[in-house]
């Protein structure tokens, strides 16, 4: 495949439920991304299709969206390549939400090969770390060995972090357990109760925040979640620009 003009980033994690889709959607629909990019595509590669279900619930709201959402699950390798190349041509930034199916499958491998930046959402969990070493690290290591220019393009995003935990503590933890070739994002994705509420409604975080303006407690929660997302999104933009 030729070198595409647009920027491609992946949320890559073979363990399900680590926050890939929440982060991919969060970044895609963030203010930061909206300001930084003229056209944004979000591609769901996961067969479980959480974001696809979310988009259905979104209904008419999609008409006003700047984000072009595309679901490409179960696509055959050649078809997937073709469809991806098309989105890449049309968008300034493409966000790939990788499958969380245990092994690094074809779709994940393609995403890794195309990406300028790979974000790895990960909880503070011995099990996730063990699975990372077994399933993800060999593929990443191969990529880094064959293409040294990819150094500094793999970042852990700590997820489900207790809101009271200092980010520095979490970052130090990951620095201690990860191979030196893997970097850690400076911001963490904190656990906030509200996520399920607005995902159920097919809303973005921003829309949800607006919808709960009358409820001080919910509005504060949404505000804190927005700060997390905007900080993470800005960190990502700084890494790719």
Ligand X SMILES: Nc1ncnc2c1ncn2[C@@H]1O[C@H](COP(=O)(O)OP(=O)(O)O)[C@@H](O)[C@H]1O
3-state class of 81 per DSSP?
helix
Q: How many residues bind Mg ion (CB under 5 A)?
A: 4
C-alpha span between 177 and 233 (Å, rounded) = 24
DSSP string, 173-241: HHHHHS-TTSEE-SS-EE--TTHHHHHHTT--HHHHHHHTTT-HHHHHHHHHHHHHHHHHHHHHHHHH-
Q: Does 199 bind ligand X (CB under 6 A)?
A: yes
Q: Does 44 bind ligand X (CB under 6 A)?
A: no
Report, in Å, the least distance between residue 96 CB and Mg ion: 12
Report, in Å, the least distance between residue 107 CB and ligand X: 14
C-alpha span between 76 and 108 (Å, rounded) = 13
Q: Does 20 bind ligand X (CB under 6 A)?
A: yes
The count of C-alpha atoms lying within 13 angstroms of the C-alpha of 54, restricted to the half-sphere facing its C-beta, is 24
Report, in Å, the least distance between residue 231 CB and ligand X: 13
Q: Does 16 bind ligand X (CB under 6 A)?
A: yes
Nearest to 7 by CA among 89, 97, 110: 89
Identity of the residue, 37 or 54, whose beta carbon is nearer to ligand X in the bound complex? 54
Q: Does 21 bind Mg ion (CB under 5 A)?
A: yes
Q: Of 21, 115, 183, 204, which one interacts with ligand X (CB under 6 A)?
A: 21
Report, in Å, the least distance between residue 164 CB and ligand X: 14
Q: Which residues lie near ligand X (CB under 6 A)?
A: 13, 16-22, 50, 100, 189-192, 195-196, 199
Q: Which residues lie near Mg ion (CB under 5 A)?
A: 20-21, 46, 50
């Amino acid at each position: 495949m030729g070198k595409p003009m647009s920027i491609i980033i992946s949320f890559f994690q073979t363990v399900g439920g680590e926050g890939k889709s929440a982060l991919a959607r969060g970044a895609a629909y963030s203010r930061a991304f909206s300001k930084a990019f003229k056209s944004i595509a979000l591609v769901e590669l996961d067969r479980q299709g959480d974001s696809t279900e979310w988009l259905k619930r979104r209904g008419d709201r999609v008409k006003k969206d700047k984000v072009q959402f595309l679901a490409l699950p179960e696509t055959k390798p050649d078809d997937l390549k073709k469809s991806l190349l098309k989105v890449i041509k049309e968008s300034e930034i493409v966000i790939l939400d990788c499958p969380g199916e245990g092994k690094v499958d074809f779709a994940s491998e393609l995403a890794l090969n195309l990406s300028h930046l790979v974000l790895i959402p990960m909880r503070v969990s011995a099990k996730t770390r063990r699975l990372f070493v077994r399933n993800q690290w060999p593929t990443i290591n191969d990529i880094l060995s064959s293409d040294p220019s990819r150094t500094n393009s793999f970042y852990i995003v700590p997820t489900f972090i207790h809101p009271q935990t200092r980010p520095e503590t979490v970052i130090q933890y990951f620095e201690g357990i990860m191979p030196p070739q893997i970097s850690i994002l400076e911001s963490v994705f904190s656990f906030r109760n509200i996520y399920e509420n607005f995902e159920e409604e097919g809303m973005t975080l921003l829309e949800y925040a607006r919808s709960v303006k009358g409820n001080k407690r919910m509005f504060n929660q949404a505000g804190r979640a927005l700060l997390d997302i905007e900080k993470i999104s800005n960190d990502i933009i700084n890494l790719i620009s």
